[in-house]
Structure 1
Amino acid sequence: MLIHEEDPIPAPERDRGSARPGDPSQAAGPTILNQMGGVAGFAYSTVPVIVFVTANALLPLPVAVGVAGATGLALFVFRLLRGERLVSAIGSLLGVAVAAGIVAWTGSARDFFVIGIWASLAGFVVTLASVLARRPLTGVIWNALAPAGATAFGEDLPHTEVHLLDGGHFLLESSLDEVADLIRDFLGRTLPA
């Protein structure tokens, strides 16, 4: 991303908010974070894990699995009563049920975490492959979580030029000529002759 500013707006006049009424970037739909239940959804997903670890330290494994399952069910009902989407609520219940099922099947408490471990490994392999292909997924994920992305600079500073270039992490290494042309053009228009 390359940013040029013609007549900068003094700092106190800048709009630092990200959710302005009528902002088209906000109307793009829910973010991935919102679809997963938001920050609360992440918090709810940790409760059964903490309950399982605590119960496993104090109780026999089958009872700990039952307590974790009951906690997941209680959170499912709680989320539905709060008016959350069924998909978000049932997703967390399904995760706890699958983890508890794996523990019940293998008889090992460590296997409660096997889904998370394998999911992290898969995420690492996919991310590594995207880096090796010189197309890192970080920007794709960032744009999915924060839809305004790089264009927010242009919306907050109306005299700014924003150019989105497909240059990867080392922009000058991959797109030197294009960047140089943009800078020359900008300086030619803005500097006194």
Structure 2
Amino acid sequence: IRPSKRVTLGLGLKTPTGAVNERSASGSLIHAMMQPGSGSWDPIIMINYMRGYYPLVVQANLFYQMTTEGHGGYEFGDQLTADIITRYQVHNFVNIGLDLNGIYAGKDTDHDGRYSAPATSLADDTSNTGLVSVLLSPVVQVKLPGSGGSAELKLQVPLYQNANGEQLVLDYRAIGRLSWSF
């Protein structure tokens, strides 16, 4: 049975699983943005609304990550994403879609000055962090019959980007995903 409407709420926690004290070959501390982990415990909240007009499905999604100060004193900016997602079933096992993705990333904070003093690169200046971005994303999904599996290809193309200070922005992003339902 396919639902015509559904609301999903989610709570989560990003845990500090990666190292935060990696050093270069010369012994200097590698910047927080290049460390394998953040050292922080970050609460996550998600809400999704789905409406089925079969064979078309439309979803609205909000995802918020409230970042906290990590073990090394660095705090990445909070993140909020808002998505409008469409999928159209063109065949029993194939969906195509178009997503509109909005991303807000707040500015980082180096509470202890461990990564920003002395400033030796643009990455050391936390005013060069944070952005607002809007992406358009065509999608193709293929279900793998009889397996519970599916594959997805997505191309994200920026329509708007406003980055704080000097930082790299996205030209495009290609995403491939495999998933299985058990």
Relative contact order: is structure 1 or structure 2 higher (C-alpha 8 Å, sep ≥ 6)?
A: 1
Shared fold (TM-score, shorter chain, > 0.5): no
How high is the TM-score relative to the length of structure 1? 0.21
User: Which one has the largest radius of gyration?
Assistant: 1
Flag the structure with higher helix content. 1
Flag the structure with higher strand content. 2
How high is the TM-score relative to the length of structure 2? 0.22
